Amino acid sequence: MIGPVTVTLAAGGNYTATANLDAEGSPTANFYTNDVSTVEAGKSRLTVRHTAAAPAVDVLAGGAPVVENLSNPGEATLTTDPGTIAAAVAATGTTAPVIGPADLTLAEGTATIVYAWGSLEAGNLALATQVIEGLHSDPSAVPGAQAGPAAQDNTGTILGAGAVGLVLLSGAAVAARMRTARAGN
């Protein structure tokens, strides 16, 4: 049995609760606050969380450690370039994977949260991912000149482009909700 668990929620916060095993293999719960702050333009945020019945681990990207000595229920966050990386989890100080390697696709303007879960003793360690989209930095914050055609009064063109952008954003929001609903099943 787990709980009861008492948590404090702030208005507008973004949280994840997990029911998992502690490092010794006993059932427990963890509560994490997700970083939903803006991601620097052209970057992606990666958070790794250790929720497995296993000792401390190193997280490897392309075979090299990027997070070292991460213990259950700890977490570590990195800002990185977007792209696909081969990620693995190894016992601290080693590079022999106990999980992975698994390809992680890190999109620009997102926060990808990866959980190592399961039990080393039971041989069922695995990864689970959670993606928070829409964390792009404000494109209007990029300095630029207003000269030539962009400086002319093209309100009809701008309004038309804005409408297309709203339709695309609406489609992305629906896709994100569908992806979230499928992940919850």
98: CB partners within 8 A, 6+ apart: 54, 57, 89, 90, 91, 120, 125
C-alpha 87/C-alpha 101 separation (Å) is 5
% the chain with pLDDT above 90: 68
For residue 124, name the pLDDT band (cuts at 50, 70, 90): very high
**95-109 tens-digit pLDDT:** 999 999 999 999 999
What is the structure's pLDDT at 137? 81
> Can you name the residues that pair with 138 across neighbouring β-strands?
none
**128-176 tens-digit pLDDT:** 999 999 998 876 445 554 444 444 444 444 444 444 444 444 444 444 4
Domain 15-138 grouped into CATH 2.60.40: yes
> Can you name the residues that pair with 60 across neighbouring β-strands?
65, 88
Query: Where do the domains of the chain lie?
Result: 15-138, 154-185
User: Contact at 8 Å (CB) between 34 and 114?
Assistant: no
What is the structure's pLDDT at 169? 45
In terms of Cβ atoms closer than 10 Å to its own Cβ (0-12, 13-18, 19+), residue 99 is: buried
For residue 11, name the pLDDT band (cuts at 50, 70, 90): very high
What is the structure's pLDDT at 6? 87
For residue 4, name the pLDDT band (cuts at 50, 70, 90): confident
